[in-house]
Structure 1
Amino acid sequence: MSIFEAIGIAGTGVTVNRKWMDAVSDNLANINTASRTADPAFRERFVVASEAADGKGTQVAGIVYGGTEGRTVYDPSHPLADADGNVKYPDIDMSTQMTNLMMAQRAYQSNLSVVSSAKEAYQAAIQLGKN
């Protein structure tokens, strides 16, 4: 594997993990988004990763959405409350989202480390060629 292939493969990992972090942050930002009980709740987003078409790295194969049923909370003072005083919130678990965020961050950092190491090796090879 050449230095440039290593950078390319790690770059695909950076892209996938950035998309994963974007999805998790979107889920966390909408964890308290209320809706009427007759309307769908915010749909949790999941990034599906797969091997790249050329077999070198990863790619985002798609986004999968969670259910719209959500969880019903009794809050008669909420402006979106129905006649029974209920409001619908997304069924998103914060601890799961935070765990996913930590995993995505670590994977992102690992891929950036590979890019940095490959860049340093390339620069060292250029210096050898100058001498």
Structure 2
Amino acid sequence: MSTFNAIGTSGTGVTVYRKWLDAVSDNIANMDNTSRTSEKAFQARYVIAQQAADGNGAQVGGMALGSAEGVLVHDPTNPLADNQGYVRKPDIDLGGQMAQLMMAQRGYQANLAVVDRAKDSYHAAINLGKG
């Protein structure tokens, strides 16, 4: 890979990791949603990454959804509770989502660092040509 391809390739990584961060943010924001037991729970979102079509970098291949079953929680004071006092909540683990958040954040930062280093290399090459 040449220095000139580095920005494009890292840019694809930035896009994938940003989508991953968005998915994790959605999961955390909706982890306390409640629904009736007769309805589906919020389904966690998971990014499916794959190699880019041109072979340089990565792209989002799709989104996988978590279980719509969720978990039944006994909360008789909730207005959505059924006759037995149960509501449905998403089956999302905050600890797991925080780990996903840290991994996505590190990947995002690493790809931005590559873009920054490539930019510095371009400037150095231009300055060599001037002298």
CA RMSD of aligned residues (A): 0.6
- Alpha-carbon distance in structure 1 between the residues aligned to 2:4 and 2:13: 14
- Render the CA deviation track for 1:31-61: whole Å, top value 9, x for unaligned: 0000000000000100000000111000000
Q: Unpaired segments of 5 or more residues in structure 1?
A: none
Give the Å deviation of 1:110.
0.2
Q: TM-score, normalised by structure 1?
A: 0.98
The percentage of aligned residue pairs carrying the same residue is 60
Rounded to whole Å, the distance in 2 between the matches of 1:128 and 1:72 is: 66
Aligned to 2:71: 71
**Per-residue displacement from partner, 1:63-105 (whole Å, max 9, x unpaired)?**
0101110001111111111111111100001111000000000
AA at the equivalent of 1:119: K
What residue ranges of structure 2 are gaps of 5+ in the alignment? none
TM-score normalised to structure 2 length? 0.98
Aligned pairs, number: 131
Displacement of 1:130 after TM fit? 1.1
